[in-house]
Amino acid sequence: KAGTSSLYFGMQAAGISTVHTKNEWGELTDHIYAAVAEDKEMFAYLQIPDCIILSSMEIYPQIDFLDIMTAQYPDSLFVLNKRDIKSHIRSIDKWLYDDKRQLMMRDALVAANIPGLPPGKGREDAELAEWLEWFYHRTRQHISQLPGSRFLEFTIEDDFAARVNDFLDTRTFEKLHLNAGTRVV
């Protein structure tokens, strides 16, 4: 709910081969966790495109395996797309998770065991806000300390297209706004 779909389609429109969450191989996260469990490179079971956008509901390889990812792919470009915390929480609360349209994303987060957000936490806005800030801070700190790291951080409410174009050395990325005011399953 921080703009990963918009980022994905913006990258696609710019001609950058990109995968996002579900694709022709199934769930990205399933392949990533399987590779790590087998002591392989994180993306061993994926046909590596130019860009991988990680977004999930119950498991977060970009949190669980941040150290592994940055060690295995040190020449990667890292992007942290953020959202105004209050808007992010409102968006989470609008997002329906299952095909029966019964489980809300907030419920899935509260039930999950995510680094920084143990099961049962996240029901209160303040708990969820604290976790989102923790995630942003942890990611920023970790990647910025890597030698030669290439890291872009932006808030999706801002006009970030020029910054993405500069970061990727392209002029074809456009900011798209998807899922605006919709409930997505």
177 in a domain, yes or no?
A: no
pLDDT at site 114: 82
The verdict on residue 54 lying in a domain is yes
Smallest CA-to-CA distance from 142 within 134, 84, 109 is with 134
* 185 in any annotated domain: no
**Element spanning 80, H or E:** strand 77-82
Say if residues 19 and 46 touch (Cβ distance below 8 Å): yes
Q: What is the pLDDT of residue 134?
A: 92
Q: Residue-wise pLDDT tens for the chain (185 aa)?
A: 455 656 665 666 566 656 555 554 456 777 778 888 999 988 887 766 555 555 555 556 667 778 888 888 888 778 887 888 998 888 888 776 555 555 577 887 888 888 888 989 999 999 999 999 998 898 889 888 888 878 888 887 776 777 877 877 766 665 544 445 443 33
Q: Which amino acid is at 3?
A: G
Number of domains observed in the structure of the chain = 1
Residue 78 burial (CB count, 10 A): 21
Q: Which among 18, 51, 10 is positioned nearest to 177, based on CA atoms?
A: 10
On whether the CB atoms of residues 132 and 121 are closer than 8 A, the answer is: no
pLDDT value of residue 181: 47
In-domain check, residue 16: yes
Position 176 in a domain: no
The two structure tokens encoding residue 168? 């990727």
Question: For residue 68, what are the domain limits?
Answer: 4-168
On whether residue 56 sits in a domain, the answer given is yes
